[in-house]
Chains A and B, each alone.
Chain A
């Protein structure tokens, strides 16, 4: 082999190496490949079953329906019809109001429970209580709602108890109260669990320092604990809002569709007339609302943290 050939071969090898064809796997590369292989499935799942359908949903909202048949189209009729309809406006307002009410009521009721579990119980009791909060998820949500139906009905257990003390019967079903009870059933355990974790993560030395500096329990709670657990508390009520806003079961079976929420309006569009495009409009508006609420709440939760970064 003459010298020219050797030099050319060496150059070729360098080019191949530069192109990565003879890339040696470094530990760092292997680590990132490992992370990628574990992280890819959920990302692909989200792309296939969330982003894809979401884009499809937006696209379908411009289609038309003729004689129960979907026709690919590009018309704004569905948007105009729903946005100008009083039924949609009232369903939107009612859904938002009920979700907000649920988040506030559940958030407020959960705080003392979560505080007690996090700070006033032994580790064994804490774990037992957290387990009890998880147990409701072992049964299906509609089954729990059906149980409430029999408890809250005019001839049900609660009215029977009230009758003993010469009260009632009261109508707890087919109104906002029934819906609220159902939404609280859905969200309360989750909110308490998240708030308990938020309180548990607070460094107890800050609490002790507050006591040592003469703060009472209430002042310590509001000036030390709440600000330190703020992120978890805000996330918990945000989750309650998100779950309540899109729920179909409680407004239907305990609220009697009276008035309809957005999720009921959405199913009505499909069941009566196969109007998937209008249902898509409702779904897109629900999604935009939830994204706006979640991002706003995240901004509120992490405001100071981001400022400090």
Chain B
């Protein structure tokens, strides 16, 4: 160490050298530490969402307009979302995106704030979505719908033709043997099986009907290709490991069709499910005003057009003015989303009464449905 000298020209001892290096390393670690950002006073909007919603395609304009950063934490399934909300200390999230069936639980758990309806363009929404069930409790608003879609089956068009997937019975067909993939979430998959069993309200069934649904589900074992998360659903259909997947819908087909994969989706004659994604302001949000502005932006016609064309997965939008803007600026997207006014569109399909809102189990607890799903996976 004698070759190294201090500013006065004195040699630096090994002890002093190590102390200096330690301090330097400590400074370097702290300066790049994740803990620093927790105390930073930047305008950061923390959002808990399904994957893909933090895409700059959607949020950049908002960030520029409000001089802030949108930071997302992603989940794949409502229960995972609830688990993350439960584990996070207050103030972790400003905005929580949730599916309709979980909003009541978020409200009961005191995780979300009551909203002022006059802050949001609900009057511009299609009438069916202005006072959407589960978003309102005793006349109070807790969440604003951002987007929605229908769930039935997604299938490879080089294996099945449209007529063959007009019923969920396609899942038990010879073509589906060993090639039925599953989105690894009990709710949509078992909901489709419940519809096939003839349950008008697929999640509100008595114990006998539940046992029948369970037996029907277990009978799919020889047909099963595998169970995967959201990304796995795309890869299973792309590489042909699965030729048909229940419990998913347009959102899968749109994206894969863009990549040239021969995939389409169908809502079978037994009916389909509706999924929704809605935005709420978290209780304890660090930036509640910014959160409100974000929801206003996303439910405005401009925000709606962006979220409808979200690169991760496209979806239907509830704002009628958003439809108008979409038709004006992106007529092709409006056609593929069935958001045109002069042809049969997704609202017509909704009005046909074939679509049930995806819900949490009513007569059984979540655990029973989960256990049935785990049992099916373990076969």
Contact = CB atoms under 8 A, between A and B. Distances in A.
Interface string A239-260: 0000000000000110111111
B378 A153 contact: no
Given A68-B83, A256-B228, A271-B79, A149 B239 contact: yes
Interface in A216-275: 252-253, 255-260, 265, 268, 270-274
Interface string A79-94: 0000001110011000
B232 interface: yes
B220 to A, nearest CB: 12
B56 interface: no
B377 A274 contact: no
B239 A87 contact: no
Interface string A125-157: 000000000000000000000000110011110
B228 A257 contact: yes
B241 interface: yes
B212 to A, nearest CB: 20
Contacts of B186: 272
Contacts of A268: 370, 374, 377
B362 interface: no
B11 interface: no
A258 B79 contact: no
A255 B157 CA distance: 25
B172 to A, nearest CB: 18
A36 interface: no
B374 A154 contact: no
A118 B105 CA distance: 62
A272 B377 contact: no
Contacts of B241: 153-154, 171, 173-174, 256
B136 interface: no
B235 interface: yes
Given A68-B109, A273-B367, A257 B239 contact: no
A100 B172 CA distance: 35
Contact of A256 (B87, B226, B370, B373): B226
Contacts of A153: 239-241
Contact of B105 (A68, A86, A257): A68
B208 interface: no
Nearest to B76: A271
Given A149-B235, A154-B241, A258-B377, A272 B226 contact: no
A293 interface: no
Contacts of A303: none
A70 B87 CA distance: 9
B225 A256 contact: yes
Contacts of B211: none
A86 B109 contact: no
A68 B86 contact: yes
A221 B326 CA distance: 75
A175 B188 CA distance: 24
Given A256-B228, A268-B374, A155 B235 contact: no
Contacts of B373: 272
A67 interface: yes
A69 interface: yes
Interface residues of B, number: 35
Contacts, number: 98
B82 A68 contact: yes
Nearest to B226: A256
Contacts of A253: 228, 232
A103 B83 CA distance: 36
A171 B374 contact: no
Contacts of A252: 228, 232
B370 A272 contact: yes
Interface in B90-129: 105, 108-109
Contacts of A85: 371
B366 interface: yes
A256 B227 contact: yes
A198 B185 CA distance: 46
A86 B109 CA distance: 33
A271 B86 contact: no
A91 B378 contact: yes
Contacts of B331: none
A253 B240 CA distance: 15
B133 interface: no
Given A253-B232, A271-B77, A173 B226 contact: yes
Contact of A259 (B184, B239, B366, B377): B377
Contacts of A86: 375, 378
A220 B235 CA distance: 50
Given A253-B232, A256-B227, A70 B86 contact: yes
B356 interface: no
Contacts of A257: 184, 226-228, 377
Interface string B302-320: 0000000000000000000
Contacts of B349: none
A34 to B, nearest CB: 13
16 contacts: A68-B105, A69-B109, A153-B240, A171-B178, A171-B241, A174-B226, A252-B228, A256-B228, A256-B236, A259-B377, A260-B377, A260-B378, A271-B77, A272-B185, A273-B79, A273-B366
Given A85-B371, A87-B378, 13 more contacts: A68-B105, A149-B239, A154-B241, A155-B240, A171-B241, A173-B239, A256-B226, A260-B374, A265-B374, A272-B77, A272-B370, A273-B366, A274-B87
Interface of B: 77, 79-80, 82-83, 86-87, 105, 108-109, 178, 184-186, 224-228, 232, 235-236, 239-241, 366-367, 370-371, 373-375, 377-379
